[in-house]
Amino acid sequence: MKKVLISRVLPEAVYPLLEGLDVTRRDQTSPLSKDEMRAALGAFDGVLCTLGDQYSADVFADVAQPRCKILANFGVGYNHIDVAAAKAAGIVVTNTPGAVTDATADIAMTLMLMSARRAGEGERLVRAGKWEGWHPTQMLGLHLTGKTVGIVGMGRIGQAIARRCHFGFDMNVRYYGRSPKDLDFEAAFHSDLNALAACVDVLVTAVPGSTETRHMINAQVLGAMQPHARLINIARGDVVEEAALIDALQRGVIGGAGLDVYEFEPALPEALRALDNLVLLPHMGTSTEEVRVDMGGMAVENIQAFFRGNPLPNAV
């Protein structure tokens, strides 16, 4: 019987799907330490890991002959795993695309609305007992309907966001990517990110985390944006250069921002938390019971297929 480590607490509905495997549950919410990762590579046939479990090249290098043959990532993003080093060590890596698309797109819309309509500020005002009642110029924000949205990365999630904007809010959609897409809605392609940033009311990141996308949103891009425009990041934290964003928000270079991910998460500098024109969420993109169960099911399906010698549903 194959031994499998579950690196983090999962929804209870996922565990029955592991039938036929010798499962060790690590019932903690914190990421694996490097020592735990090294030990897991030597002691288990497979590991169901997730964001924060930093399987870097040096971790693989420290285990000469790993017993582990599959890292089944719980999540679509896998930039915390050095895939090339894993493959060199004879380890397959899988992920869970598709399951996260709609939930992540919903969080993007949540952040867009919260930032544009200053919902975070409004709630803080009410909770602090400082609200003095309605008046005509109270907390004026940005009306989203009919505005222009720029999507950075038009993959599954980018398209789901764009559809919500186009069909739900009658927004004009523009996007940046490697090449134009064949879409079922009207959208204008931009090959220049700065040019896209300059002509939109909301700029949304929807690219995977990688060395190529790190600090893609930097001081130059933020400087190209309009003074009322909002930046929304639901991709990976280091897609946005955090120091540059703090500076842009402090100086009023852009109107506001909404973040679900952070460059050094879970650590947030005080300067970031102090900004009133910034909405902060605790990496909630896929935080629904249904979606997390679906993600777990996909991760387990990858493991079961691997050990049965079947084609992998989601190899990376």
Active site residues: 236, 265, 283
Q: Which residues pair with 230 in a beta bridge?
A: 202, 256
Residue 305 contacts residue 311 (beta carbons within 8 Å): yes
Please report, in angstroms and rounded to a whole number, the separation of the first and last CA atoms in the chain. Answer: 25
| Strands, E assignment, 130-255 | 148-152, 172-176, 188-190, 202-205, 230-233
Residue 177: other Cβ atoms inside 10 A = 18
Residue 151, token pair as written in the block: 């999507």
Cα separations in angstroms, 291 against 119, 126, 162, 297:
26, 32, 20, 10
Q: Taking Cα atoms as reference points, which of 66, 18, 61 lies closest to residue 45?
A: 66
Residue 43, token pair as written in the block: 């002691």
The packing angle between helices 101-116 and 156-163, to 10°, is 50
Residue 150, token pair as written in the block: 């720029």
Q: By three-state DSSP, how is residue 295 classified?
A: helix
H-helix or E-strand spanning residue 15: none
Residue 300 contacts residue 17 (beta carbons within 8 Å): yes
Residue 150 contacts residue 175 (beta carbons within 8 Å): yes
Residue 228 contacts residue 116 (beta carbons within 8 Å): no
Rounded (5°) CA angle 152-153-157: 110
